[in-house]
């Protein structure tokens, strides 16, 4: 089954409407108070600090990402909700413009679905989503896909504290939280999809795509 081919003007109009919708959602401040505290206030502590706690249960809730993640997020979140969201919306708009003007409709749909989720619902993984999108680049695609994994976990540089890894894989607020399963699935499917398309484009996978509407 093929995707419908849309005129470029229609695609660009849909792009404007999508970005306007995101702006309206951001203006409504949809995040919970607990998430806002964790995401915008816990950066006052050193990386991987156990002083960050949940508001309701008062449980330790460190941020077990890489130091690269901290370098990007700390100055933005320290500046507050509006600065962070407007900057990331601008970055998202740039990625979206490239997707809808340089790639096929298939990739425009792919970007639209993922960008809504990682910009609005799971902003803590927007940087990882950006690295996954950069995996579309011809020469350095695998490098960016590797960075997506290394930045998602405290691996760049490696943090070997057993307590941090115990929190990641053993704490009910982290990988074992069922509320996180959809987010992990979105990241995993996106990562595999981009890697597969990169391999197809390089001729490493013998896949024939006959329909020009699904060009890679």
Tokens of 157: 């540089």
Rounded average pLDDT over 48-69: 86
pLDDT at 181 (0 to 100): 92
Query: Which has more pLDDT, 54 or 214?
Result: 54
Q: Is the pLDDT of residue 216 over 50?
A: no
The number of CA neighbours under 13 Å toward the Cβ of 17 is 6
Q: Is the pLDDT of residue 14 over 80?
A: yes
Instruction: List beta partners, residue 136.
Output: none
Average pLDDT score over the chain: 87
pLDDT at 109 (0 to 100): 87
Residues present in the chain in total:
216
- At 144-202, the pLDDT tens digits run 999 999 999 999 888 888 999 999 998 888 888 888 899 999 999 999 999 998 888 77
């Amino acid at each position: 089954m093929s995707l419908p081919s849309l005129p470029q003007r229609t695609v660009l109009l849909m792009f404007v409407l999508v970005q306007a919708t995101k702006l309206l959602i951001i203006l409504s401040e949809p995040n919970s108070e607990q998430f806002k505290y964790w995401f915008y206030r816990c950066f006052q502590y050193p990386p991987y600090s156990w002083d960050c706690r949940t508001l309701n249960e008062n449980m330790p809730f460190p941020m077990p990402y890489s130091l690269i993640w901290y370098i990007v997020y700390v100055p933005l979140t320290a500046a507050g909700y509006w600065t962070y969201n407007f900057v990331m919306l601008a970055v998202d708009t740039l990625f979206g413009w490239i997707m809808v003007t340089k790639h096929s409709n298939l990739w425009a749909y792919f970007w639209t679905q993922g960008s809504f989720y990682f910009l609005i619902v799971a902003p803590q993984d927007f940087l990882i989503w950006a690295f996954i999108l950069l995996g579309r680049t011809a020469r350095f695609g695998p490098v960016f896909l590797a960075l997506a994994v290394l930045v998602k976990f405290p691996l760049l540089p490696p943090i070997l504290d057993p307590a941090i890894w115990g929190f990641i894989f053993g704490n009910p607020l982290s990988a074992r939280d069922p509320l996180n399963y959809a987010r992990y699935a979105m990241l995993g499917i996106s990562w595999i999809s981009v890697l597969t398309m990169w391999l197809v484009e390089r001729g490493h996978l013998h896949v024939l795509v006959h329909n020009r509407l699904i060009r890679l």
